[in-house]
Chain A
Amino acid sequence: MSTTTLDRSAPSTMSERYLAIPTPLRWMGVAALGILVLTIVQSMSGTSLLTDSNTSGTMLRWSIPLLLAALGGLFSERVGIVNIGLEGMMILGTWCGAWGAFNWGPWWGLVAGAVGGALGGLLHAVATINFGVDHIVSGVAINLLGPGLTRYLSERVFVNYEGGSQTLSPRVDGLGNITVPFFAGGKIGGWESPDMLGWIDDKEWFWISDMAGVLRGLLFNIAYFTIVALVLAMIGSWIIWKTALGLRMRSSGENPSAGESLGVNIYLYRYIGVMISGALAGMAGAFIVLELTGLYRGGQTQGRGFIALAALIFGNYKVSGIIVGASLFAYPLGLSFADFDGSATRALLLVITLALIGVTVWAIRKEKWVDAIIGGGIAIAVLIWYLTTEAAPDWLPNTMPYALVLLVLIFNVQKLRVPQAVGAPFRRGDH
């Protein structure tokens, strides 16, 4: 009898101890363990790309548009408006970003992209808040409007620029890059500082070198725009959770009638939320133009707005979760770009297997038998796939975000916390 009591209390004290660790340290610990898994997989499947600094650098670069757009989705959903129009607002951001950057320089490109996206947000706000249009319908309309309008504008504007055309803008410069000195060998006023992490990476120490490699990728050649985005993510989190503005915005998404009875101008906060949402999505588009391609090209967002929505759900409508989601979704892509024989993407299948085994063990301990069977079943299927294939198919990295979200929805339904009033029609004075 006493043993069962012990068994029950043991996990709870363990989780209490785990929660007592300061959050940043906890995250670092999780990341280090994640890299340990990658190290082990790497030693089993003969690839070194999983923890290569090039891979983590690409992951960071490619996660930023997802992060910004998902952050935009967060602001919109938090005030109770479903924003499936992120993709369209992003497209407006790409065009305006290229236009601003070409005419006045890259920083103005960033601003113009945000303004362009915010205009898309304004349209969405007018349609959904004032006219009570179904959020999905309005969002889809914006997704249709984005490519059409930018094409029309390109035919009127970019065609007249040298190097521009109906589908292309002239080349534009990015905001510039910085490499962190001492850690990744950045320069201080022309003097090349030592590359500490690079040195550790070259030593090929088990696990330690892999951690250094991943970290070096995150600190090497970072775009200033990336720093802007990460700072915005922190500010966004602070606004939503720590300020009066954020509280009122959240009340608009959780229980607008109660908010209104307390004197909160629900319409105003919804407008603010949706326009911030559009601005962030537009900035995501500007990032693609300025930092990933160096020009506007029709169709270049490639569905990132929808993947951002997936990241938002994956991240359980929280900024920290979004950052993890965006990174996880960008990682397979970063890997696939450098993976010329498909071996590293194949190794990813083993990582997924291990992760699913972890989930299964967790489900068994929690006595969630259905989850355990699903998790174990998929784990076995992926393991068989890993064992029977030489190289993973090209479509795998592109599919991963959606697969991950499906898994999260399967295993995490009880914990997923959606704003209560999201998507529901609300009329002023209508209780």
Chain B
Amino acid sequence: MKRLVKLLGLLLAFTLVAAACGDSDEDSTPADAPDSTEATESTEAAAPASDTNVGLTFDIGGRGDQSFNDSAAAGIDKAESDLGVSYTEAEPNSDGSNRAELLQTQADVSGLVVAVGFLFANDVAAVAAENPDVNFAVIDDAMLDFDNGGVPRGENIAGLTFAEHEGSYLVGVAAALKNESGTLGFIGGVSGFGLIEKFEAGFAAGARSVNADIEIISQYITEFPDFDGFVAPDRAQEIAGAMFAQGADIIYHAAGGSGAGLFEAAADFTGTSGSKVWGIGVDSDQYNTVDSAVQEFVLTSMLKRVDVAVFEITTAHENGTFGPGNTVYNLAVDGVGYSTSGGFIDDIVDQLEAAKADIISGVIEVPTEP
């Protein structure tokens, strides 16, 4: 009996330790570090050698979200094979309270630290000031000090932002051209911090440029500072179901990982009602990331080339051309765009390209607020 109790005690102790290790920043812990270096060594033969390490620091959700973070991961994978850099990954714990510590750990072993997500902005500014010989880049934040006339927040800090409204405008045009019911839907992940509203504004402007009377119903899953809206596919599915029931036949989502629910809802509604409805993906080409069973409901995706931004900033760092300040990835540099996978919008590509040219040339100015 005593031995059994001891054994159970040991088991309990183990589970508590496992629980303590459960915070998902394991890739930055020393125990796991050899893994990533091993991976690099194996590819070194093919790629030009470089002793640079990039500290890729994900947002909550991390590698494997089939959306925003995975796009950044794709960029670093390309940099690894093309430029021969190595990288370490890290991801904050679930309440995001250890961002600064993660950045510092990354800075200790890296020449360039890329923080994926605007939530890192203030922590990067603080950590960068203490590590002047390390370069920092933040995705989705301009990293400019607007109180001081918009100067960079540090000589070693770059902000990489995207013209999401321009890409959204194009998928809005596509949605309106394919629309039959007169109603479109928009599902945003989290409202109230300005970023997701850009998607909605561009989408609505694009749709109305085709059909001024089109009705657009819009719903956000959660409100800032509750970021669950990016990881709640169940809620997105219910909202999308209700929008389809109220007459929308195409819904665009800007809700990160929640978007999976949109395509499920499209499949469900098409199955029960018999009339085909669509979803439009975001960030990466979701036709290629969703399950094959719902692929036929992905009309197109608004591409936000986080991978390009990560790759380019790494290249700049390698070439010694890293400069502080804000780089905007817009339509002109193919930083945003639309996907044609599945071939559902092949017949309207000409119109989309015309709209794209008009945006690039400045004929169309896309609003950033709905």
Contact = CB atoms under 8 A, between A and B. Distances in A.
Contacts of B334: none
Grouping DSSP codes into helix (H, G, I), strand (E, B) and loop, the B interface class, with mixed when no group exceeds half, is helix
B49 to A, nearest CB: 29
A356 B234 CA distance: 32
A351 B241 CA distance: 25
Contacts of A123: 12, 15
A294 B16 CA distance: 30
B234 A293 contact: yes
B291 A297 contact: no
A62 B219 CA distance: 19
A299 interface: yes
Contacts of A166: 24, 62-64
Interface stretch (A20-28, A145-153, A310-318, A401-409): A145-153
On chain A, which size bracket covers the interface?
Answer: 35 or more
Nearest to B192: A394
B45 interface: no
Contact of A167 (B20, B64, B237): B64
Given A292-B237, A340-B219, A144 B19 contact: yes
B14 to A, nearest CB: 10
B257 interface: yes
A292 B236 CA distance: 10
Contacts of B61: 167, 298
Given A148-B23, A170-B291, A293-B237, A141 B15 contact: yes
Contacts of A145: 15-16, 18-19, 22
A151 B22 contact: yes
A291 to B, nearest CB: 9
Contact of A130 (B5, B223, B238): B5
B12 A131 contact: yes
Report whether over half of chain A's contact residues are helix, strand or loop; otherwise say mixed.
helix
Interface stretch (B129-137, B242-250, B305-313, B362-370): B242-250
B194 to A, nearest CB: 16
B178 interface: no
Nearest to B69: A167
A394 B64 contact: no
Contacts of A58: 238, 242
A239 interface: no
B233 interface: yes
23 contacts: A54-B245, A126-B12, A130-B5, A145-B22, A148-B23, A152-B22, A165-B70, A166-B24, A166-B62, A168-B64, A221-B272, A292-B237, A293-B234, A294-B260, A295-B260, A297-B231, A298-B231, A300-B231, A334-B238, A337-B238, A337-B242, A338-B239, A340-B242
Given A126-B8, A149-B19, A294-B237, 9 more contacts: A54-B241, A58-B242, A149-B18, A152-B22, A288-B234, A297-B231, A334-B238, A337-B239, A337-B241
Interface of B: 5, 8-9, 11-12, 15-16, 18-24, 61-66, 70, 94, 191, 217-220, 222-223, 226, 228, 231-235, 237-239, 241-243, 245-246, 257, 260-261, 264, 272, 291, 293-294
- The 6 A-B pairs of least Cβ separation, nearest first, read A148-B22, A165-B64, A338-B242, A171-B291, A292-B234, A145-B19
